Structures are given as C-alpha cells and as structure tokens.
C-alpha cells in the first residue's frame, strides 16, 4: 500500500514537472510577445515623430494629414488612397521589416507576435489601397468628439489633437508612452490659459513659464496693480463672489488654472472658517462650474482643461487646520466632478514653496512652476510636486480609493 502510494506521488510529481515546463514556456512566450507588441508601438510612434522632424519623411506623411477635414471626415477617395500608400503601407512595411530582424536575431518565438501584429497594419492598409475603399480605424472616425482624451490609451479625442491642435505633438497611436517620454502629451503652444491668483508668487511664476511655452496668458487677479505689463499677458480684474461676471472671458479660454487661496494659519474664528472655505473651496468650484458651461462644440472636449491647485494638504498636514480642511474639501469635490468627464481636470498637489502664504517653504515658486508644466506636457492628471516622498505614495492611494467610492455611490445628473 505504501509502495503504491509512493509510486502515485512520483507520478503526480512527474506530471507537475511537465506542467511547470509548459507553464514556463507559455509565460515566456507571453512576456516576449507583450514586449514585442509594445516595441512595435514604440517604433511606430518614434517613426511618426521623425516624420514631423525630417523634411523628406514629412512629404510622405503629410499625405495622411491632407486626407482629413476638421471633423475627421475624408476629403476624397484619392486623398485617402494616397495616405494609405505613402503613410500606412510605408510605415507598416518598415515596422514588419525591423521587427522581423529583431525576432531573427534574438531567437525568441514570442517576438514573432509583434511581427504578426505589425503585419495586420500592413494587410489592412494594402487592402484599403488596392480595393479603393474608405474604412478608417477608430481614431479617425468622423463626427463630434464625445469623450475627453484618455490617459491610458489613444482615443479619438487624443488623436484629433495631433491633426488639428498641434501636429508636432500627440504622436502616439495606441499607448501614449512615447508622448510621455518626449513631453508631447499636451501642447501649450497657442493655447489661451487663464490663471487665478496671478499676482501671487506661484501665479507670476506660472505665467512666466507659460509665456516661455508660447501660450497666451490671461491673468485673473483681484490685485491688478501688482502685475507688470508683459507681451502675451492680458490682465483681467475680478472680485471674490463675482465669478459669474467672468463667463464671457472664460468662453475664449482653453485652460483654466485655479490657483488662488488664503491661509489663516492657527486662527479658528467664524470669520477664518468662512473665508477659508469661501476662497479655497467655494470660489474655485463656482469658477469650475462656469468654465464647464463653456465646454461646448464638437471638439471642445479635446481642447478644454481645468487645473486646480488642491495642494499637498489633501493628504498631509500643513500646520494650518483650516487650510487643510478647505483644500481637502476642494480636492474631494474635484475628484467627484472628474467622474462626469466633461473635460480634462488636472490636480496640482504641491508641497511647501516660498510665497506670501508660506514664507518657510523649501522650494521656490519657479521650480514648482517648471515642474508643473514638465509633468502637464507628459499628460499627468495628478501633478505632484513636493519634497515629501510620502505624498507620492499616499496621494495615489487616497485618490484611487476616493474615486472608486464616489463612482459606486454617486450618480451623474445625466443618468438620473
């Protein structure tokens, strides 16, 4: 009996050993296969970027851009066929050739998955060209843009920006990895950016950096006398509580940066409570609501954005209870509003920097402003700039859990 049991166990071990070999082979194939598909996309997007930088390549690639109108409808069958021949067939042929060489050199069977993946692009483009049929992929479907640009993959709104916002940005085709590396995930060139708190230390630093990136800045300030005249900078005066009067100005704005605030430090009087929430939360929310009414038109979801300075106080102590409470309120409601997907809403989670609100800050406003734009151009939706390493861990956990809770237990007015 014992001998039979031992033989049985030996047989099971043998079968498990064979199974583990199979599992290991499948896992190895999956890893190399996934890598090859990712490599294919990186190569394709890199080639795309080169097409906009190298003149002799751009002559062929421009055929693709010439084939579409602003609503992504096709100009003509001839223009569409030219785009297939000079862009899609050429690009996918080069991709197949390069990936085939990689697969032959490395000798990993999983790499051939990338070759097959690239060949599907070549097959589809060849079919469309030789049959003379218009059969655009998802990112080129005509019609109004109904969703905001995705952060995880390239959707119609994301790719539309490459055609009609800035052709020297938004190069990615499926995964926005290359845009994040190159800093082409958001183009500020030619954008009209409105900025509250513009007379403050960070406001002035942000305005200066935005102008360097060829944006047009509208400084929304309650202290216009503190701002010097600059080329490309327009000063608009406003008063707390009169946010509705800014609607006409906000109609022409691409990006609204909500940056104004107060810090009452240790005070906890009724006046301190009221002013903290009014300035740091309620005024910002009113501006958001007004701006969201301007997100109209077939392409507005692709170009309109709101950036909100909620600060590191969302997850960390700021040694000022009312500042923390009011900023956390603002941050939580911003998370709630993001669920509606009306436009891109970015959070600025900033650590202590030297300003009128915090003379003991360890960072400079110029450093913070440069970091904000660096991360925004890489399409970060939560822009964390701080010297506190815990914030980089705590904030994503807090934001993810809050987002999930709000998504489960709240409903948009559109679904009611």
- The residues annotated as belonging to the active site are 323
Asked whether the beta carbons of 183 and 170 are under 8 A apart, the reply is: no
Structure tokens at 322: 């009312």
d(CA 236, CA 255): 15
Structure tokens at 403: 């987002």
The residues near 105 (Cβ < 8 Å, ≥ 6 apart) are none
d(CA 146, CA 263): 39
What is the side-by-side order of every strand in the sheet holding 233-237? 233-237, 216-221, 192-196, 255-258, 305-309, 344-350, 382-385
Asked whether the beta carbons of 264 and 272 are under 8 A apart, the reply is: yes
Measured at the alpha carbon of residue 101, what is the angle toward residues 98 and 107, in degrees to the nearest 5? Answer: 135
Closest listed residue to residue 95, CA positions, set 118, 116, 114: 118
Asked whether the beta carbons of 217 and 211 are under 8 A apart, the reply is: yes
């Amino acid at each position: 009996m014992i001998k039979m049991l031992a033989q049985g166990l030996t047989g099971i071990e043998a079968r498990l050993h064979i199974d583990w070999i199979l599992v290991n082979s499948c896992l190895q194939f999956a890893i190399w296969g996934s890598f090859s598909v990712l490599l294919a996309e990186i190569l394709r997007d890199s080639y795309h970027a080169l097409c906009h930088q190298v003149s002799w390549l751009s002559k062929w690639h421009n055929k693709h851009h010439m084939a579409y109108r602003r609503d992504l409808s096709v100009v003509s069958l001839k223009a569409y066929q030219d785009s297939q021949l000079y862009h899609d067939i050429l690009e996918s042929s080069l991709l197949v050739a390069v990936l085939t060489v990689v697969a032959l050199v490395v000798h990993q069977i999983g790499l051939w998955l990338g070759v097959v993946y690239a060949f599907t692009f070549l097959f589809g483009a060849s079919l469309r060209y030789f049959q003379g049929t218009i059969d655009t992929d998802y990112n080129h479907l005509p019609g109004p843009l109904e969703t905001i640009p995705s952060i995880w993959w390239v959707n119609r709104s994301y790719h539309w920006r490459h055609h009609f916002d800035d052709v020297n940005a938004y190069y990615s085709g499926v995964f926005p990895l290359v845009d994040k590396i190159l800093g082409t995930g958001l183009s500020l060139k030619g954008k009209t950016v409105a900025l509250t708190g513009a007379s403050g230390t960070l406001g002035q630093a942000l305005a200066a950096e935005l102008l360097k990136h060829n944006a047009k800045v509208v400084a929304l300030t309650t202290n216009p006398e503190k701002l010097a005249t600059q080329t490309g900078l327009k000063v608009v005066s406003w008063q707390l509580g009169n946010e509705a009067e800014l609607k006409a100005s906000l109609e022409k704005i691409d990006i609204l940066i909500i940056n104004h605030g107060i810090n009452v430090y240790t005070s906890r009087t009724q006046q301190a409570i009221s002013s903290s929430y009014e300035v740091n939360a309620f005024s910002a929310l009113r501006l958001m609501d007004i701006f969201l009414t301007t997100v109209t038109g077939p392409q507005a979801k692709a170009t309109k954005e709101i950036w909100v300075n909620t600060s590191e106080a969302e997850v960390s102590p700021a040694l000022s209870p009312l500042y923390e409470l009011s900023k956390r309120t603002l941050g939580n409601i911003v998370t709630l509003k993001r669920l509606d997907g009306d436009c891109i809403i970015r959070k600025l989670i900033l650590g202590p920097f030297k300003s009128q609100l915090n003379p003991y800050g360890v960072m400079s406003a110029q450093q913070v402003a440069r970091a904000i734009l660096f991360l925004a151009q890489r399409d970060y939706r939560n822009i964390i700039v701080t010297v506190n390493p815990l914030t980089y861990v705590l904030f994503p956990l807090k934001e993810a859990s809050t987002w999930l809770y709000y998504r489960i237990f709240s409903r948009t007015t559109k679904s009611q």
